[in-house]
Amino acid sequence: MQLQQNYQAFLENNAQVVALAVASASAVGGVRQAIGAAYPMLADPDHKVAEAYGVYNLLNDGLAAPSVFVIDTNGDILWSYIGSNPGDRPGIAQILEHLP
Amino acid sequence: MNGRSTFRFLALLIVGILALSGVGLLMMFLNQAATATPTPVPQPSPGPPREQIVATVNGRAISHTLWVESVLLDQVMSGMAGQPAPTPEETLQRLINEALILEAFTSVRSPSPAEIEAHIAAMERSWGVEDSAVVKALQEVGLSRAALERSVGRLLRVQAAIEALRAQGYDEGTWLKGRLAEARVVINTELQQATVFPTPTTLAVAPTPTVLPSPTASPPVVSSPTPAGLAASLPTTAPDFTLERVDGGWFTLTQQLASGPVVLVFFQRCG
């Protein structure tokens, strides 16, 4: 998805990108350093958040399925994309066009 | 779906949207009939009993929870308005219609809480009931007032989408007919048929507790390019959470939403 390379486009739309993963804080921190992410990255090691969003273990791997949720200021999920395999992700343009 | 029934449901949709501009006619929208025929899909091999998706529209899910909530809400509101309630199938078709419109106009803004409250207040005035009576009726079918607020908010967004369509010079009937012809709608008929609702007449006269079978009572019938996602129980309202940022500090979703929309991205792997 190249989130970091397109992060500014989200900010220009007044939207904040937040990434999280079912992993330890150290593992997520390592990825953050590797990709130079300027957006917040969160660790969800006990997968509570992934479960709440219905994306935990969908691929039977004990992880969150690659997925994106666009949430408006009322807390409504305007759009979501749930990947059916590790490489199944929406494009940046596809996400941007669903911003409120 | 044949041409006649297609045209009928499109016409009814437009009537419903127009009705929103006059709040007293909101029930016309909620009561609209629809005649779409579910598209039969192949029966996949039964998977883990965890799905709660009753239909998909171009791959986007309509959750079982949203459908159940909408059916019960339609019944309560119809009872208040003294009108016959739509059938669960008609309510599902309305959700499909709304999804088609909102899919094409994602840029329409969400109504403010004040706008939603103003419409609810106007509806209550037209029904001649106090808000407390509405809340009680909702509670009797297991719904909170927030369900009504979400529904009205959604309908106002549909109305805004129709207005945007007109502003672009489109004839909404023609436009919607074309959209429908290209849409890929899949209905989980097995889950749909396994769900039992209280009859609206019983509800209006003597509210009774709602007894619904478990949404996991039968295996899912879904078809999509993202089968894993459709097997999920997807929320319609974002669950709030607080997690520690790996660069220090804490992140709370609701606090961030106060500043603007959030794009929540789940990475599958980290490391």
Per-residue model confidence as pLDDT tens digits over A32-85:
888 889 999 999 999 999 999 999 888 888 899 999 999 999 999 999 988 888
The number of residues making up chain A comes to 100
Q: Of residues B123 and B23, which shows the higher confidence score?
A: B123
Residue B130 reports pLDDT greater than 60: yes
Structure tokens at B158: 């549909």
Residue B250 to chain A, least CA–CA distance (Å): 9
Q: Which residues of B touch A72 (CB under 8 A)?
A: 110, 257, 261
Q: Which residues of A touch B237 (CB under 8 A)?
A: 75-77
Structure tokens at A94: 């596809």
Q: Of residues A74 and B271, which shows the higher confidence score?
A: A74
**Contact status, residue B243 vs residue A43, Cβ threshold 8 Å:** yes
Three-state DSSP state, A14 = coil
**Contact status, residue B247 vs residue A40, Cβ threshold 8 Å:** yes
Structure tokens at A70: 């666009």
Q: Give strand pairing partners of B252.
A: B242
Q: Output the pTM of the full model.
A: 0.46
Name the residue facing B106 among A1, A77, A78 (closest C-beta).
Answer: A78
State the virtual CA torsion across B164, A78, A13, B251 in degrees, nearest 10. 160
Angle at Cα B153 formed by Cα B149 and Cα B159, nearest 5°? 145
The ipTM of this complex is 0.97
Three-state DSSP state, B122 = helix
**Contact status, residue A14 vs residue B260, Cβ threshold 8 Å:** yes
Over the Cα atoms of chain A, what is R_g? 13
A49 lies within 8 A of chain B by CB: yes
pLDDT at position B1 is 43
Subunit contact A69:B251, Cβ cutoff 8 A: no
Question: What helix, strand, coil percent values describe chain A, rounded to 5?
Answer: 30, 25, 45
By CB atoms closer than 10 A (0-12, 13-18, 19+), residue A30 is middle
Structure tokens at B240: 């709030």
pLDDT, tens only, B212-270: 333 333 322 222 333 333 444 678 899 999 999 999 999 999 999 999 999 999 998 76
